[in-house]
Structure 1
């Protein structure tokens, strides 16, 4: 007779995929075109060259209309302007300029971010190694760029300027390289920090947009004054192009001055001057056509400008709280409020630091101490942004507490496995 046998079914492993996940089964490993070290070294050198060439093209264009100047003077002007983009007071035509062309500085920082991103992309690391890779790549790019700047500055400038250029190069290259390396390596920051950074970016963007609108209104309403100064300067075609380049180089500075004006702290353009929504005390101002946009009397509806900073804070707090709600749906109201407050503090800190960098002088006479007023800006600019972010975080937390959580509905749960809802 047949004997019974054990026919227990073999275990079968089933796996369910999420349609939101990327299919990596057919992906091909990244093939590096250059070793990451070579990419960092060559890219950092190219960034140094970018700053030098950008300044050199503008100066060379101006030289075409003044060919009587000796080439040594032109090269010295290029060197001084190149030092200036690293935050070093520079001398042009006998005038010492202490205002940093933040537009050129930002261009170099973006270039260093691209260099670090490309260099980090030549390595493939997983897990905790990504943080180490990001730090290694950013450090290599920063050190290379800074040493090249120090070497070149030592050849074309006095030791004091060379040392200041090295410090500025470390700050510019370090900031750009770190951002680029972190993004390239896919470093996963804590959820709360990611949400706060999103809010910080939104707040700064809205603050910049408000300042841009206010500056545009000032230019449109003072076209006659600007035109008169333009006629007095009477630049030729090349001079007009150089004037536009100058405006672009100092566009971030103009926006920061306008933002400081909108907060109520105001700014000065020399000794004895003050411009706020309530006060307009003029005096000796720079002889640029854009100076015609300075108000001669306080605007009638100047109080409207005071809404820009709180609205930027509200936007920052709301964006951070909503981002945290998506990344961690179970977060408590206290966590949402805290993240919103951090986003507001980040936006305020970024604005205050940039405003401090936008200060400077033109010469050593009356045009000193130009830029946003401190410590007034700490109160008028920082507190409204932080307060607005906290209010937005609290409001969003209360609203989410009273509103049914969408994630409880399986039809709206994007994290649920495909086919199980």
Structure 2
């Protein structure tokens, strides 16, 4: 009996692992439930507060809770229906208040991120928290978070499927999983420090059908520059739309105040109207951006409001935001001037591309990209801006009723192509002009046009892309890991035909080939270039550790090698003597300032033989 009482109960290692797994699953499931419950609870508190302070409520607390559930589902993009209409035909409500959607998305994002974060360290004197079960993969954890969120969402759909204003079940069942999976995926990506890990197997199989030459034709630095330019152009359009909306409301502030007074005389009602206008503020910004792009927006029926005129307005209810609508009639010089907004956005995108097309700050730098690369980056930036504007305007519009109010807001299939066209029209010439100006300003006087042509043929950093037919998924992995495994240094390409035997040319070709091999083996994300002045060539510097953060692996590293007498290259170059070469790992996404001097290093893509002879002549003249 004593042995039984002293031995106590203990679990086997397998039992401990199962217990940890069950605890992690329960915590993830509970996180999703709490995220959905907090969103529903916040809206329920706000609606109940409005219902309590209303002097003439038309329903009980059950009706207020139904409205809260409807608003929560509407924030996910689900459509509502209003049954009590004069015609007897249910009127759809599909205009999503975009600011209202921020709350549930942010809560679910935080829940997913918290579920994958490592446990905190225990304080002194406390037991250490249990470690996570290694068999429970991050995808499984995120799946349980999503399941918990969708369970509460399904209950809300069942609860809000009846009533004067009810949700459309099919629309809710289509939109809820999309929003939940997107927010959970963003949270999981952020919890892992935003990595670019291995592709899922279905996506990898799909990429196998894409030829490897596609990835070689679109280097990663080009896509990064195009993405930045697209984001900048989209931000300019949104800022311009906000400026137009605020300016119009400020111009018609008296009409907005009058419409608010006509709606209600009670302070609680006015607060409710102002809150509704607040959650619709992002929609108003996108409407202003669509107005500045040219297509404008519609208010139902055959109405249109744009810079060239406004006509066909239906009878609209009194609402403060409607007071800022442009007056009906033909446009004039004042309304035509808003078309300068997309031109400014295109110029900003072109400045981003033009800056990326040249090596910034290097006085001896030549064009980093050729004309084809610059035009491709400008076109991709325009496509990205047009796609972003089309997506956002599609979310900012929707029906507010039947018949005349079935179409309300901007049309995504008009505003998207308009943004694409304006950005390409102004962005591509600006990129070419800025690239020409920077190359002309930074090019040394003795630099001929041969360097331009060679740099254009070599791509961005003197690297000739390998356009071999590599299967898509493997080519994508090599493209993502950098150009080191994708190309070869230009110096090696030029030196190889000279023979792989002895001599300076053979040594340069061998060292260049070794530099390309090191870059490919280490998976670095930079482009390795090896230039030779006196005939010798140095191996490139070792790449950063693959386990380091991806942004640290993108940092530039410049190594200064000593000459034959042990002096730094800068001292030798100042004395006018030939120097050894330096292997430079250049950051592809940020055209950082180079530390090389014009005397110490020839231009990327230039002819190495001519530069070597010129350097030797300068050395003999100095002697």
Secondary structure of 1:286's aligned partner: coil
For the 8 Å contact 1:321–1:337, the answer to whether it is kept is no
Give the number of aligned pairs: 374
The structure-2 alpha-carbon separation of the partners of 1:229 and 1:387, relative to structure 1 and needing over 3 Å to count, comes to same
Shift in Å, 1:355:
0.9
* TM-score for both structures, normalised by structure 2: 0.53
Relative to total residues, which structure has the larger helix share, 1 or 2? 1
Q: CA deviation at 1:354?
A: 1.4
Q: Indicate how the Cα distance of structure 1 residues 146 and 399 shifts in structure 2: closer, same or farther if over 3 A, else same.
A: farther
Alpha-carbon distance change, 277 to 154 in structure 1, aligned in 2, over 3 angstroms:
same
Match of 1:284 among 299, 315, 320: 315
Residues 250, 326 of structure 1: alpha-carbon distance in 2 compared, 3 angstrom cutoff: farther
CA 1:365/1:315 → structure 2, altered by over 3 Å: closer, same or farther? same
Q: Does 1:301 align with 2:334?
A: yes
Equivalent in the alignment of 2:173: 166
* CA 145–385 in structure 1, closer or farther in 2 if over 3 Å, else same: farther
Local SS of the residue matching 1:397: helix
Alignment-derived partner of residue 402 in structure 1? 440
Change (3 A) 1:81 1:324: farther
- Is the contact between residue 230 and residue 381 of structure 2 (CA under 8 Å) also seen in structure 1? yes
Identify the range of structure 1 (367-376 vs 346-355) with the bigger mean alpha-carbon deviation. Answer: 367-376
Residue in structure 2 matched with residue 362 of structure 1 by the alignment: 400
Select 1:72's aligned residue among 62, 83, 90. Answer: 62
CA offset at residue 304 of structure 1? 1.6
Q: In structure 1, which of residues 182, 200, 203 is the aligned counterpart of residue 230 of structure 2?
A: 200
Counterpart position of 1:58:
46
**Secondary structure of 1:267 counterpart:** coil
1:415 aligns with one of 543, 553, 557: 557
**What is the CA-CA distance between 1:71 and the residue it aligns to?**
2.0
Map 1:17-416 → 2, pairs under 5 A? 40-64=28-52, 65=54, 66-67=56-57, 69-91=59-81, 94=84, 96-122=92-118, 141-142=145-146, 144-157=148-161, 161-185=168-192, 186-188=194-196, 190-281=220-311, 282-297=313-328, 298=331, 300-319=333-352, 322=355, 331-333=368-370, 334-373=372-411, 375-404=413-442, 415-416=557-558
- Equivalent pair of 1:348/1:386 in contact (CA under 8 Å): no
Deviation at 1:393, TM superposition (A): 3.3
Structure 1 residue runs of 5 or longer lacking an equivalent are: 1-33, 124-132
Q: SS in structure 2 opposite 1:275?
A: strand
Query: For residues 230 and 160 of structure 1, what CA distance do their matches in structure 2 show?
Result: 28
Greater CA deviation, 302-311 or 103-112?
Answer: 103-112
Q: Distance in 2 between matches of 1:331 and 1:148?
A: 54
Aligned-residue RMSD, C-alpha: 3.6
Q: Given the superposition, is the C-alpha separation of residues 345 and 278 from structure 1 closer, same or farther in structure 2, using an over 3 Å criterion?
A: same
Contact 1:86/1:169, CA 8 A, preserved across alignment: yes
Which digits, 9 at most, give the CA deviation of each residue in 1:194-242, with x for residues without a partner?
4333223222211110000001111111122212212211342222221
Change in 2 beyond 3 A, CA 1:258/1:54: farther
**TM superposition shift of 1:142:** 4.5
**Counterparts of 1:43 and 1:351 in 2: how far apart (Å)?**
33
Gaps of 5+ in 2: 1-21, 85-90, 120-136, 198-219, 445-460, 462-528, 530-554, 562-567, 571-623
Q: Which has the higher contact order (CA 8 A, sep 6+)?
A: 1
Tell me if structure 2 keeps the 8 A contact 1:195–1:321. Answer: no
CA shift in 2, pair 1:36/1:68, >3 Å: same
Structure 1 pair 119/134, CA: closer, same or farther in 2 (3 Å)? same
Between structure 1 and structure 2, the one with the greater Rg is 2
The answer to whether the 8 A contact 1:277-1:302 is kept is yes
1:25-57 CA distance string (max 9 Å, x none)? xxxxxxxxx987666534433332233123223
- Write the distance in 2 (CA, Å) between the matches of 1:112 and 1:208: 26
Structure 1 range deviating more: 143-152 or 247-256: 143-152
| SS in structure 2 at match of 1:280 | strand
Counterpart in the other structure of 1:19:
none
Q: Structure 1 343/375 Cα, relative in aligned 2: closer, same or farther at 3 Å?
A: closer
Residues 386, 419 of structure 2: 8 Å contact kept: yes
Counterpart-to-counterpart distance in 2, 1:92 and 1:264: 33
TM-score (norm 1): 0.76
